[in-house]
Amino acid sequence: MIEQIIKRDGRVVPFNREKIASVVYRAAVAVGGRDREPAERVTDDVLRMLEARENPGTYPTVEEVQDCVEKVLIERGHARTAKAYIVYRYEHALKRKGRQSLTYSEENIPYRKLWEALSWSVDQGCASLEGIAGLVRSGGYPGLVAACDAFYEAELDAAAARALERRDEVRVLIVAGPSSSGKTTTTLKVRERLAAEGVRTVPLTVDNYFFDLDMHPKVGADDYDFETPQALDLALINVHLQALLDGRSVQVPHYNFRTGKREGTEGSFRLAKDEVLLIDSLHGLFPEMTAGIGEERKFRLYIETLSQVRDREGRYLRWADVRLLRRMVRDMQFRSYSPRQTVRHWHLVRRSELRYIVPELQRAHAIVNSFLAYELPIMRARVGRELESIAREFEGDPEREDALERTLRVMRVFEELDVTVDESAVPPTSLLREFIGGSGYTYH
């Protein structure tokens, strides 16, 4: 029995069979697999191979284990899973060397939108953390709230206008974007604008098509990777979309997020000929989600927190950090997740975004900037103190290096925002209310 393993830095740690089974299953899921049993059989073969090596009295290294996984996958005929595993392994090797990923993409930057955001921020005096803090101290916070909301609403007006230009052909309108970008509120606001122009929309909740939680790859002892498009039953989504556009009714499944399982249905669902299907989805740009629908029938709106705020060192605030704060606050208030759990899970969110969302940005027909400069002081008040204890807990833990780096980065932002604001200045129509509560919209 193998009891310990040698890490790349030379440390000897307890051997964990489940880590092998989990990473093999994750590779299988990435290529459409959903059966855990083959992953367990591959893991058993890997263990037998390790126990039969030439020096059975020594501990295996991480590299030896990974070599065995590749060999067993290929020998068992799991070619597609083997390829996904090899790519996963190579990507991590590049990351350790500080080199650019070949699979994950940070390109497709919407430079025109960034220039618009920067120009607007400079005009409003909120292009830096110092500027935001100064506005708050001078009593200008309510004005900043009103200005930011007006900018966001103008973004929505422009996006809706582009969709309406194709009203005679579009049957599916998709609001896509990374986690906590504000898709839900944006979808509701777009629906209002289309309704004002006589376009009837019917929302379809794609989250109901999640596979049961126990079918997602497990990461660590208490986390699951449900951030990838493969976490959704893409095949069933396509069948239902085609049926709806053909005028047939479908039984939309009901997903219970408390139990992590599909339980029954949402009832019968049908789309009239003069109605547009409205989809709010993290992976709405992912080609396989709507593969059976002609391009001329789709309109894709992409939303992101395109912040152009800089700190005192001239570093731009990261868009993903803004969304991390939103998700921390929302998870804590509405989903019984602690900020610690959210920041620990965030590396899975980012990995999925860079692999499956950002590379597809060129598919968007319109882009909406959902960043609100006034949200930062509120986030500081909501989770600032929590970050200090999280940083202390994660310090020195090699398994939490990514979470620690993000936590410390956000803490540096908050150091420059030592101000207190009145949340009542945020109206119920604000997108931020989706995360902090008190919204005039009803979320399901």
**pLDDT tens figures, 36-45:** 888 899 999 9
Alpha-carbon distances of 317 from 119, 349, 376, 380, 432, rounded to whole Å: 16, 18, 11, 14, 18
Quote the CA–CA distance of 360 and 364 in Å, as a whole number: 8
| Residue 114 confidence (pLDDT) | 87
Report the alpha-carbon distance of residue 384 to residue 407 in Å, rounded: 10
Give the pLDDT score at 103: 47
CA angle 246, 249, 253 (to 5 degrees): 120
Q: For residues 49 and 75, is the Cβ–Cβ distance under 8 A?
A: no
Nearest to 383 by CA among 320, 328, 424: 328
Contacts of 303 (CB under 8 A, 6+ apart): 175, 176, 177, 181, 182, 183, 186, 367, 368, 369, 370
Residue of 25, 2, 360, 349 whose CA lies nearest to 179: 349
**Model pLDDT, residue 98:** 65
pLDDT at position 108? 62
Residue ranges of E strands in 60-215: 172-176, 200-204
Q: Which residue has the tokens 């989600």?
A: 289
Supply the pLDDT for residue 102: 46
If you average pLDDT over every residue of the chain, what do you get? Answer: 89
Neighbours of 393 (CB within 10 A): 15
Structure confidence by residue, pLDDT tens digits, 52-76: 877 767 788 888 888 888 888 888 8
Per-residue pLDDT, 30: 77
pLDDT at 434: 96
| Cβ density class 299-313: b for 16+ within 10 Å, e for less | bbbbbbbbbbbbbee
Q: Helix 17-30 crosses helix 79-96 at what angle (to 10 degrees)?
A: 110
The separation between the first and the last C-alpha atoms of the chain, rounded to the nearest angstrom, is 50
> What's the length of the chain?
444
Name all domains of the chain by residue range, CATH numbers in brackets.
4-96 (no CATH), 111-436 (3.40.50.300)
Cβ neighbourhood burial of 197 (10 Å; 0-12, 13-18, 19+): exposed
Q: Which residues of the chain have pLDDT under 70?
A: 56, 90, 94-108, 217-223
Quote the radius of gyration of the chain (alpha carbons, Å): 24
Pairing of strands 261-269, 250-256: antiparallel
**Sole residue written with tokens 């509701």:** 188
Short-list 293, 265, 267, 268, CA closest to 279: 293
